[in-house]
């Protein structure tokens, strides 16, 4: 009897001696800001100096086709946090705080439920109603896994801000450039070869090298703490950027991100990929939460839409796997784009093709390259793709072969040789929008009225909303087809305000006084966004006096934040900003209840920036 008891004692002692070793892996997420994959050395940039990330890739997995589903931070974070598409949750509009259904729960809640110590240093801005910091054990500029209980597994996020687009703003960029001369840098063909563009590229290489050093410091700290063999490390950027046509664009430069994952030998059974290899299968931010849960042995909850690409519950990538991309309102400016890609072929659909492809935000115009790019266009110095970006209308469809055209400068949508692929990818996008119940089909200014303060996703999924009918109409409306004016006019009198919206959009896009009777009726619509859309259509049809008068009447009576944003967007597009009364500007600046973006508009109007 003594021998079994002795063996039991030895076993217990061994267990206690190993109590500080986690039974499940620690997870370290290192994120950088605003740098697309092409800025990193291991992704083929020979001018980059990123030795620590490159070394991590040599010992880990480099994902060749990793994507942020959205090309801007808050929208991307909401996708990551809950493992669900922002357009499903209703979190696709930049810095919005709309409510979301309780079924969407953060990966943090699942990990903490399993005893993990979860820290975030320190970006939040999760883009939905709630307390962003409350979900973490620690969330601050000092949050760190070292503060956990002894032996407690951790999941720690470190967000590196040195590569943010603002790092190229004159008041933040510091000495420049230090490593590469502006004359030496490679200028990709989607950008005009301007001195300011070259200088920003050279300066950003320095920022990337600094960021790489910070990645190294975090890895060294992990090693010094004796935790490297117990910790799975992810490095990725929060979306693309940073020079023009990067951030806020669903081109590769805006959404294709570097992603390197290092899985120590101890946890090698959790990955099917070869160490030091390159992974071809597409992955996206919507996949991160399910993957994280899979790495600690949990199955994906029903509300998560992504795919676990590592761990015990890994799902193999479908043979025809496609990443879903989306872009809607960024800061003050509205616009709706969707896309899909498998890493080789990319299809982009503009649902508001009457708008130019630049700008999608005013924030970027503190960057010298953006300012110079705009001035070169204004001065008539650009042609080809460089000029087209600033022109309206845009083509509603784009198709790119990323293998032969990685910078996406040759649109194949009108090429008969690719007609079959175009139709297939258009259908695939439409199917994906149906699958995820894309809430972007409902204009944001209508959300409060239609959803009654509840999540917009519940309204879109309700039996009272004709999702498929609205989706079909949105595709029809964005085609600029004069042959469809009759159908659009019928929808303009629909009982459904969302269908009326898309019908009026379609009539505006078609132009040439198409559907004038329906547009005049739209001026009396119950929803401001429809009245404004009708007024803008009048302006585009040569009836500027009537259209502007209707918009200014709307301005003096409307108080809803998103309706006002939409209205000022329209006033800008028809060059009617000078018509806005000074009294309205001054009152808006004094109004404590005015929305932040509406106030920004007022500030820009007052300063003459619009």
pLDDT at 11: 37
Per residue in 49-66, pLDDT (tens digit) is: 999 999 999 999 999 999
pLDDT at 202: 96
Please give, one letter per residue, the 3-state secondary structure of 157-176.
EEEECCCCHHHHCCCCCCCC
Cβ atoms < 10 Å from Cβ of 82:
29
pLDDT at 146: 98
- The pLDDT of 525-532, averaged and rounded, is 98
Q: What is the number of residues in the chain? A: 610
Per residue in 340-364, pLDDT (tens digit) is: 999 999 999 999 999 999 999 999 9
Per residue in 310-344, pLDDT (tens digit) is: 999 999 999 999 999 999 999 999 999 999 999 99
Reply yes or no on whether the pLDDT at 8 is more than 70.
Answer: no
Per residue in 182-228, pLDDT (tens digit) is: 999 999 999 999 999 999 999 999 999 999 999 999 999 999 999 99
pLDDT at 491: 97
Reply yes or no on whether the pLDDT at 5 is more than 80.
Answer: no
- CA-CA distance, 53 to 59, in Å (whole number)? 10
Cβ atoms < 10 Å from Cβ of 100:
23
- pTM, entire model: 0.95
**Residue 591: which pLDDT band, with cuts at 50, 70 and 90?**
very high
42 is a catalytic site residue: no
Reply yes or no on whether the pLDDT at 4 is more than 50.
Answer: no
Cβ atoms < 10 Å from Cβ of 510:
23
pLDDT at 178: 86
CA 485 and chain centroid, separation:
33
Reply yes or no on whether the pLDDT at 19 is more than 50.
Answer: no
Structure tokens at 283: 């992955």
The C-alpha angle with vertex 78 and arms to 285 and 308, in degrees rounded to 5, equals 35
Structure tokens at 498: 């969302």
The C-alpha angle with vertex 463 and arms to 462 and 468, in degrees rounded to 5, equals 90
**Residue 10: which pLDDT band, with cuts at 50, 70 and 90?**
very low
Structure tokens at 340: 């899909």
pLDDT at 1: 35
- CA-CA distance, 144 to 531, in Å (whole number)? 51
pLDDT at 173: 86
- The pLDDT of 164-188, averaged and rounded, is 92
Higher-pLDDT residue of 176 and 109 is 109
Per residue in 411-441, pLDDT (tens digit) is: 999 999 999 999 999 999 999 999 999 999 9
pLDDT at 472: 98
- CA-CA distance, 425 to 419, in Å (whole number)? 10
- The pLDDT of 5-24, averaged and rounded, is 44
Percent of the chain with pLDDT over 90: 93
From the candidates 42, 73, 118, 139, which is the catalytic residue? 73
Structure tokens at 99: 């409510």
């Amino acid at each position: 009897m003594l021998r079994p008891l002795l063996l039991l004692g030895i076993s217990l002692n061994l267990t206690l001696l190993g109590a500080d070793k986690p039974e499940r892996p620690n997870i370290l997420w290192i994120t950088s800001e605003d740098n697309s994959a092409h800025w990193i050395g291991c992704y083929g940039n020979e001018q980059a100096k990123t030795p620590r990330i490159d070394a991590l890739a040599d010992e880990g997995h480099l994902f060749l086709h990793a994507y942020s589903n959205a090309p801007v931070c808050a929208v991307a974070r909401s996708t990551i946090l809950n493992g669900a598409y922002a357009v499903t949750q209703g979190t696709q509009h930049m810095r919005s705080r709309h409510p979301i259904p309780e079924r969407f729960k953060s990966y943090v809640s699942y990990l903490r439920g399993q005893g993990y110590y979860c820290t975030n240093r320190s970006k939040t801005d999760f883009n939905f109603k709630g307390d962003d910091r409350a979900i973490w054990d620690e969330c601050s500029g000092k949050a760190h896994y070292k503060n956990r209980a002894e032996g407690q597994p951790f999941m720690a996020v470190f967000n590196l801000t040195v590569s943010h687009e603002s790092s190229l703003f004159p008041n933040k960029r510091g000495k420049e450039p230090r490593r590469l001369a502006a004359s030496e840098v490679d200028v990709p063909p989607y950008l005009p070869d301007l001195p300011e563009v070259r200088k920003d590229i050279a300066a950003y290489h320095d920022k990337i090298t600094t960021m790489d050093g910070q990645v190294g410091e975090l890895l060294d700290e992990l090693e010094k703490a004796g935790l490297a063999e117990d910790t799975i490390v992810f490095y990725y950027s929060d979306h693309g950027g940073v020079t023009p046509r990067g951030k806020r664009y669903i081109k590769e430069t805006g959404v294709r991100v570097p992603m390197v994952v290092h899985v120590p030998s101890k946890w090698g059974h959790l990955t099917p990929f070869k160490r030091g290899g390159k992974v071809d299968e597409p992955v996206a931010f919507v996949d991160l939460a399910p993957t994280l849960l899979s790495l600690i042995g949990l199955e994906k909850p029903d509300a998560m839409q992504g795919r676990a690409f590592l761990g015990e519950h890994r799902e193999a990538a479908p043979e025809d796997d496609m990443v879903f991309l989306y872009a809607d309102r960024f800061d003050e400016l509205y616009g709706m784009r969707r896309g899909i890609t498998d890493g080789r072929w990319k299809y982009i659909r503009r649902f508001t093709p009457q708008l130019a492809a630049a700008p999608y935000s005013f924030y970027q115009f503190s960057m010298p390259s953006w300012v110079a790019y705009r001035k070169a266009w204004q001065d008539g110095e650009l042609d080809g793709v460089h000029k087209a970006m600033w022109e309206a209308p845009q083509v509603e469809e784009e198709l790119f072969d990323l293998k032969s055209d990685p910078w996406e400068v040759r649109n194949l949508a009108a090429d008969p040789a690719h007609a079959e692929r175009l139709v297939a990818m258009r259908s695939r996008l439409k199917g994906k929008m149906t699958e995820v119940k894309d809430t972007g089909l409902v204009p944001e200014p209508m959300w409060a009225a239609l959803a009654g303060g509840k999540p917009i996703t519940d309204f879109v999924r309700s039996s009272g909303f004709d999702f498929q009918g609205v989706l079909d109409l949105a595709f029809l409306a964005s085609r600029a087809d004069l042959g469809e004016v009759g159908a659009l006019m019928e929808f303009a009198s629909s009982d459904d305000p969302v269908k009326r919206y898309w019908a009026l959009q379609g009539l505006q896009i078609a132009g040439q006084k198409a559907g004038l009777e329906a547009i005049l009726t739209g001026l009396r619509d119950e929803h401001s966004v429809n009245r404004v859309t009708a007024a803008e259509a009048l302006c585009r049809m040569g009836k500027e006096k009537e259209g502007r008068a209707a918009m200014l009447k709307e301005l003096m009576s409307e108080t809803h934040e998103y309706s006002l944003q939409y209205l000022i967007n329209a006033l800008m597009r028809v060059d009617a900003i000078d018509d806005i009364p000074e009294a309205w500007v001054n009152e808006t600046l004094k109004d404590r209840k005015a929305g932040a973006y509406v106030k920004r508009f007022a500030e820009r109007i007052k300063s003459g920036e619009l």
